[in-house]
Amino acid sequence: MPEALRVLVVEDDPVAAEAHRTYVDRLTGFTCLGVAGTAARALQVLSRDQVDLVLLDMNLPDGHGLDVVRRMRAVGNQTDVVAVTSAREVAAVQAAARIGVVQYVLKPFAFETLRDRLTAYARQRRAADTGQVVADQDEVDRLLHPATVSSVPKGLAGSVLDRVVQLLGNHEGWTAEEVAAELGTSRITARRYLEHLADQGQALRTQRYDGRSGRPKVEYCWVAES
């Protein structure tokens, strides 16, 4: 078995940092060697320990994530970086790509989203480490623009799952009816996604009483990260 890839989580929010650490440790072939809550701490760990991959938040209390990457590169550290951030500006995405960030994952996200991207990263890294060569232009394009194959449960779509996660992360408490209205789907479809997240421990089921009837509605709240 190949040695597990060592991952440094750089995230200042303790709840999000713990969620990301847990996600990494759930993945076969990866291990989280530590969490850094500041840019300074991240650079200190990178200068001391052998790190294969950095999960890097962009908004840190003592600097921007891209500045961390620039400082890494300035001292010759070529450790791969995956941005894990809520920064949605096109300029931020382009700037990350220009300095070699290998993946850009928007928060909040389902576990499957990170799993798919890190699995694709590990597959590409193994190919490079073993000296594989590309067969044609299509394979070059796939390497430069990796398309991850979704491994979400059968019957669920990864893009819809991420949309549900975003809804839960942006507002506290959603019923299946409310999510269905936002997605333009049926209540049953929305409930399947919400129940999946609850079963995974990423959403919490509570009860909402509207005062008009004695029967409460099931409400879902995001708990994996803030």
Q: Which DSSP string do the residues of 89-154 spell out, in sequence order?
A: -HHHHHHHHHTT--EEEESS--HHHHHHHHHHHHHHHHHHHTT----SHHHHHHHHS--PPP-PPT
Quote the pLDDT of residue 226: 41
Please say which residue of 113, 142, 171 terminates a domain: 142
Question: Domain limits at 208?
Answer: 158-222
> How many domains are there within the chain?
2
Q: pLDDT means per 10 residues in the chain (226 residues)?
A: 89 92 93 96 96 96 95 95 88 88 86 87 82 72 58 78 84 88 92 88 82 77 66
Quote the pLDDT of residue 212: 65
201 and 93 in a single domain? The answer is no
Please say which residue of 115, 142, 169 terminates a domain: 142
93 and 11 in a single domain? The answer is yes
Please say which residue of 142, 177, 201 terminates a domain: 142
62 and 126 in a single domain? The answer is yes
211 and 107 in a single domain? The answer is no
Phi, psi of 182 (to 5 degrees): -70, -40
The CATH number for 175's domain is: 1.10.10.10
138 and 166 in a single domain? The answer is no
69 and 178 in a single domain? The answer is no
The CATH number for 84's domain is: 3.40.50.2300
pTM: 0.69
